[in-house]
Structure 1
Amino acid sequence: MRESKTNKIERAKGVYQSLFAEYPDAKCSLHYKSPHELLVATILSAQCTDHRVNQVTLGLFEKYTSPKDFAYCNVSQLSKDVHSCGYHNQKSKSIQGASLKIVEEYGGQVPNNLDELVSLPGVGRKTANCVLGEIYNVPSMVIDTHMVRIMNLLKFTHTKDAKKIEFELMALFEYKNWVKLTHLIIDHGRAVCIARRPKCGACVINELCPSAVI
């Protein structure tokens, strides 16, 4: 039997409350000290762990201390500097391209709206929403691999398309909780709802999850 939207909203509320109680300190795990550093770190995080990104940016942000440093750097050297994050050639071009546009068109300030953010080279909705939520406190959702997988397990969506998932979840969860929700799901995905070996018996939302195996 198909679940009604009303029931889904109630179940979503329960999921959020349970995860918030379990991970009250959940937050962005990328290390940064400025909007631009978060932008760079988020670009590097594609297909790479946050732990690895933090290891790389520790030295990277000492070497490149401003958007201008990234904008006018030697992109081949930048590629070497971020090599261990994977896809280093593309990521270095994206970082330099985005930084150049920020410097030359936005006065060195990272834009604070979705349309301008996604106009930056290498910046998609995931990166843009991360910056909007973390820096500018704009209610937004970052749809990463944990969100895709767990929201499918919860039957809140039946697609792998990140943009479609984003809009489906916006209709289920309160907008004031959108930013926190992403961090809760990421922490839960790392600790309990692990891709190849989910610990359903230890899961605080197993009674709300149609896919739980107990």
Structure 2
Amino acid sequence: MSDDVTAGADDHLRGGTGGEPGYLAAVTDLLGALAYGELRAFSQLAKDADLAPSLRHKSAIAVLAAHELKNYSVLTERLQGLGVAPETAMEPFVPAIDAFHERTTASDFLEGLVKAYVGEGIAQDFYREISRYVDDDTRALVVSVLEDTGQADFAVTVVREAIAAEPRLAGRLALWGRRLVGEAITQAQRVGVERDALASILVGAPGRAGADLAELGRMFARLTDEHSRRMERLGLSA
């Protein structure tokens, strides 16, 4: 995205969308939640690298962590372009995201990989759903940040290789994946409901359409369906 286009998009947001000044607050919340999620993902992957069983695995995790840090930088630059301090935008989402990570501490490298793929995947799907209701420039930024650049293939390959070598791992990792989906959806609900501005993206506001209750139900059904597909890719039962 060129600097001129980005500047134009930022000016548009500052002026509100459809005459609604609160739209900037809503987009700030979305980008702030994403930015802190990326920051925590980077930190978590850096810790997971210490559990890696080989230099090959450690190197691959380091590359994934660097990708998360790059996404964090892109998001914070956009927030600064909107005249918002990144720390201010991220702060409201620290409790919910930290609580998720505290409740889902991996006991080994494989659990960490499943968490990075399954747990973070649900959160990313949730933000993609929200991005359906924002302006085109913000949506493009969100989709770009959440784009898979090989993380999924790495996790799937390593987990499947481990299960092939030791089939009994499948049961433990499947239970872990089921725990992750519950925690991740709880996190998504907290993030989406506790902040009025962010919630307004989903439910709408005067002059801006959102999702009705039926669509919200379908959204969480889609999150669950995507989780099942990820588990199947890993060779695990959902």
TM range (shorter): under 0.3
Higher relative contact order (CA 8 A, sep 6+): 2
TM-score under structure 1 normalisation?
A: 0.27
Normalised by the length of structure 2, the TM-score is 0.25
Higher helix share: 2
